[in-house]
Amino acid sequence: MRQFADLFTTLDQTTKTSRKTAALAGYFSTAPDDDKVWTIALLSGRRPKRTVTVTQLAEWAAEKAGLPMWLFRASYDVVGDLAETIHLVLPAPEQTRDRSLSDWIGDIRALAKAEEALKREAILDAWNSLAGAERFVFNKLITGGFRVGVSQKLMTRALGQATDIPEAELAHRLMGNWTPETTSFAALVTDPDPEADLSRPYPFCLAHGVEDEAAALGPAEDWRAEWKWDGIRGQLILRGGQHYLWSRGEELMTDRFPELARALDFLPLGTVIDGEVVAWDADARAPMSFAALQKRIGRKTVPKSLLTQAPAILYAYDLLEDGGEDIRAKPFSERRARLDALIAPLLADAPVLLSPDLPFDDWDALAKTRAGARAAQAEGVMLKRADSPYHAGRKKGDWWKWKLDPLTIDAVMIYAQAGHGRRANLYTDFTFAVWKGNDLVPFTKAYSGLTDAEFRKITHWVRRNTLARFGPVRQVPPEQVFEIGFEGIQKSTRHKSGVALRFPRMLRWRHDKPVQEIDTHAHLLNMLEEYG
């Protein structure tokens, strides 16, 4: 645990990529194999589930520290992070033990089925055996909130340096439905069995946003365009007589979209397709809004009513494996031609359909097409260089997303809450409202879009102008106006306003606009009618 805690401290205290890479490579070269597998899992989002409630941890920590609960809660409100609060208030350990990371995680996982008294005894013993960064890391693990500023791409690069395995090959090996309990470092990294996991997807190729004019990308004839669909990015895999559907976030979604099981009736084994899962209107032969698909997100099982209301298809736009052959290195134009040949002959009721090309002679023509994206239930257009391979991750130059400008509305902040991590001492999470007659109606929350300097300035204002406190939330006077940007709007019965925004964020702090001139609830409903 000490070695992992030292690694965590280094990663947490530097923003230099070279230093993070060197620290990770050194760790992967010397740590025990079991710890290396858990480290890979933690840095790729495979955290152990919380096995002790927040309330229990807070009560036990306050008791251990000799603090009344009101003082512990007040400390938590200031710090903004439970693991750090516990770390700060606990007394020094009476003794220390250097056990492995995998041993400690094993103890944490074993608490899932333990009685409360045994959980308390185990947690108190751990706190009494760990000091400094080791105790802080343990707290992060036990609360289920372990995160560190390292991308999976950076981790893969460091692992490649430590093992001399090509980064692209490692990226593929680390995909899939593995856990530290079901694999070993050798089976996962150094000596994998290619037939061991037929469900394993390829790393997704990601795009950068167009920063200036699309014309800056060069001659239009070098590029291919298609709609940027507003759905769920997915990779459909047909291998070994089975089908598998993976999300971009490496979540296995096969059971959530049972309609795609019929892909085995239409497509050959040894096929891997990259595309977008969308809700499909068979009569209109067009995608439905994201709001229709959203009803199915987060469900492990889908009732028949939803299957009828929002049937799903995969809109295919790239072919990664054809006849069992990995064709990612081939140019996009060839992969697309092979995809067309594979899918174009399929019947209209096939669960996999071909996302259409958007022909254009010049950038002005494509700009006019892009302007109609919302009417097509799309967010904009995708641009792919015709000769580009299918990269692993985000590589600038070959794939671009040219999204529509966001929808906007001016609103006033009425509540503020502190952030987390490095922003735990700043107010960054805000609730916004619009006018409905003479009343202010809250309609959305946002927590991104401002600079650190702006967050510090608004934090100072919030602290000086708090009207009331509700736990970590502060009510403030309705004076600070912001322009809120968002990608879509939909009807919602869960919110008092009757609407919900998609990807809301703060575009700018409107010092120039008084609260009397912010937008109205009626304007929101008009936007819902036009864009919902």
Report the CATH number that the domain containing residue 293 is assigned in CATH: 3.30.470.30
**Domain C-terminal end among 376, 403, 430:** 403
Question: Does one domain contain both 217 and 326?
Answer: yes
pTM for the whole thing? 0.75
Does a structural domain hold residue 155? no
412 is a domain residue: yes
Is 512 a residue whose pLDDT tops 80?
yes
For residues 490-502, average pLDDT: 88
Same domain, 216 and 245: yes
Claim to verify: residue 254 and residue 377 sit in the same structural domain: yes
Interval 93-119 mean pLDDT:
89
Q: Is there a contact between 177 and 252 (Cβ–Cβ < 8 Å)?
A: yes
Residue 421 has pLDDT above 70, yes or no: no
Rounded distance, CA 424 to CA 139, Å? Answer: 16
Residue 407, beta-bridge partner list:
486
Residues 271 and 381 placed together within one structural domain of the fold? yes
Mean pLDDT (whole number) for 470-485: 93
Flag whether 180 is in a domain: no
Kindly state whether residue 341 falls inside one of the protein's structural domains.
yes
Q: How confident is the model at residue 423 (pLDDT cuts 50, 70, 90)?
A: confident
**Residues 395 and 459 grouped into a single domain:** no
Residue 222 CB neighbour total at 10 angstroms: 12
> Do 447 and 313 sit in the same domain of this protein?
no
Q: Which of 143, 161, 195 is the last residue of a domain?
A: 143
Percent of the chain with pLDDT over 90: 61
Supply 416's token pair. Answer: 């503020």
363 and 289 part of one domain: yes
Burial class (CB in 10 A: 0-12, 13-18, 19+), 471: exposed
Calculate the alpha carbon distances from 238 to 196, 264, 271, 321 in Å: 15, 7, 5, 10
Q: Is pLDDT above 70 for 196?
A: no
Would you state the pLDDT for residue 45?
80
Q: Which two tokens stand for residue 373?
A: 């994206």
Tell me whether residue 283 is in a domain: yes
Q: Give the domain CATH number at 78.
A: 1.10.3260.10
**Domain's final residue, options 365, 387, 403:** 403
* Structural contact between residues 383 and 225, judged by C-beta atoms closer than 8 angstroms: yes
CA-to-CA separations, 10 to 3, 225, 366, in angstroms, rounded: 11, 43, 47
Q: Contacts for 26-33 with beta carbons within 8 Å, 24 or more apart?
A: 26/162, 27/3, 28/158, 28/159, 28/162, 28/163, 29/162, 30/3, 31/3, 31/4, 32/100, 32/102, 33/184, 33/185, 33/186
Closest listed residue to residue 518, CA positions, set 483, 489, 490: 483
- Range 173-183 average pLDDT: 86
**Mean pLDDT to the nearest integer, 396-414:** 94
Domain membership of residue 418 as a residue range: 407-531
Verify that 373 and 423 share a domain, yes or no.
Answer: no
Mean pLDDT (whole number) for 80-101 = 87
CA atoms within 13 A of residue 267's CA, in its CB half-sphere: 35
Indicate the pLDDT class of residue 19, thresholds 50, 70 and 90.
Answer: very high
**Which of 169, 180, 351 is closest to 257 using CA atoms?**
351
**Chain segment 318-372, per-residue pLDDT in tens:** 999 999 999 999 999 999 999 999 998 998 889 999 999 999 999 999 999 999 9
The answer as to whether 346 is a domain residue is yes
Considering its fold, how many domains does the chain have in total?
3
Predicted pLDDT of residue 339: 97
pLDDT in tens, 213-228: 899 999 999 999 999 9
Same domain, 353 and 417: no
Are 377 and 286 a contacting pair, CB within 8 Å? yes
- Assess whether 502 and 387 both reside in one domain: no
Residues 392 and 413 in one domain: no
Within a domain: 151: no
Residue 104 resides in a domain: yes
Could you tell me if 348 and 263 lie in one domain? yes
> What's the confidence (pLDDT) of residue 95?
83
